[in-house]
Amino acid sequence: MAAREVITLNETTPQLEAPQAGDSYEMPRDVNITGNLTVTGSFPATEGSAILSTGEAGGTKYLREDGDNSCSWQAIAGGGLTVLFKSANYTASAGEFIVCDSSGGAFTVTLPVGPSATDQVFVVDGVGSCGTNTVTVARNGETILGDAEDFELDQDFGQANFAYGGADWQHALSGTPDIVNANDFIYGYRGVIDFTGTSESAIRNHEGQLITMTNGSANTYTIPAEASVNYDIGTKIDVMQKGTGQTTIALTTDSLLGNVKIDAQYDVVTVVKTASAEWVVLGGVV
């Protein structure tokens, strides 16, 4: 290399031109560039470090080499769940682990609106107060296990893990001894649901509840096929004919019994799933 060679600017092109092809050149001082720097070939950094602008990344992106001699900012994925502690009404976002304290009173955690497939929300009773003050998980326009009803966390130290499957929210439950408060079954029903129409169908949330059919005309309560609502073996639903119209319990082809009718007004029958795709009806039927 000559004692001093100067890189010149060709103002016609414009571009920088070296005096001799194949030579290497050093820039002993800082070089500030305003605008874009386009490199043909590789641009190795054999020593020192590259300082990237934090303004573009904002702390939530990284710079990726895209394989075509260019780079782009990409969102950082992963990072786990965000843990939050809540004791009052709250609307959740995907990826949150919500520890609830309902010792001061019942409240509602609302699931995200317009969820995407694989979104997850975890709701747990962190202090053992949900057996007294229920935390309601509101479905926010979606369904939960196919049911258009909100979910209630009513077990001390219970936990409900919700994952959106693209069509509705699915959940995995854990609690002691069960996610549904044991007192609901020792001392009575989980609740009473009154229907005034002439045709109603069971949903998963009806398990352990008393269904009352209040209509002056003949009416029907239908247990769907197992392929539609996959109840656990041992599921029990009680149905009362509260109105004067006779109530038919319509059992699908899953059952060996066919359809049966409740004998008289105010009679209660128990519908029990005794095996896979098999139901029995206990009580006053004709």
- Pair 171, 196 in one domain: no
Q: Are residues 194 and 101 in the same domain?
A: no
Region 121-143: mean pLDDT is: 89
Q: How many domains does the chain have?
A: 2
Give the residue from 183, 217, 243 where a domain finishes: 183
Determine the pLDDT at residue 182.
Answer: 38
Mean pLDDT, range 109-136, rounded to an integer: 90
Structural domain boundaries, residue 95: 82-183
Task: Determine contact, residues 159/175, Cβ cutoff 8 Å.
Answer: yes
pTM for the full model? 0.42
* CATH number of residue 136's parent domain: 2.60.120.640
Mean pLDDT, residues 242-264: 85
- The confidence score (pLDDT) of residue 183 equals 39
- Residue partners of 258: CB distance under 8 A and separation at least 6: 251
Question: Mean pLDDT throughout 117-122?
Answer: 89
Average pLDDT over residues 278-282: 87
Residue 88 has pLDDT above 80, yes or no: yes
Token pair of 255, please? 């059952």
127 occurs within a structural domain:
yes
Percentage with pLDDT > 70 across the chain? 67
Question: 60: buried, middle or exposed (CB in 10 Å: 19+, 13-18, 0-12)?
Answer: exposed
Q: Report, as an integer, the average pLDDT of 211-221.
A: 96
The more confident residue out of 162 and 255 is 162
Does residue 45 sit within a domain?
no
Across the range 226-236, mean pLDDT stands at: 80
Report whether 82 contacts 92 (CB < 8 A). Answer: no
User: Which range is least confidently modeled, 11-25, 123-137, 264-278?
Assistant: 11-25
Q: Give domain status of residue 172, yes or no.
A: yes
Q: Is residue 225 part of a domain?
A: yes
One domain, residues 162 and 88: yes
Statement: residue 231 has pLDDT above 90: no
Domain harbouring 268, CATH code: 2.60.120
Q: Do 261 and 229 belong together in one domain?
A: yes
pLDDT score of 144: 84
pLDDT classification of 228: cutoffs 50, 70, 90: confident
Please tell me the predicted confidence (pLDDT) of residue 131.
79
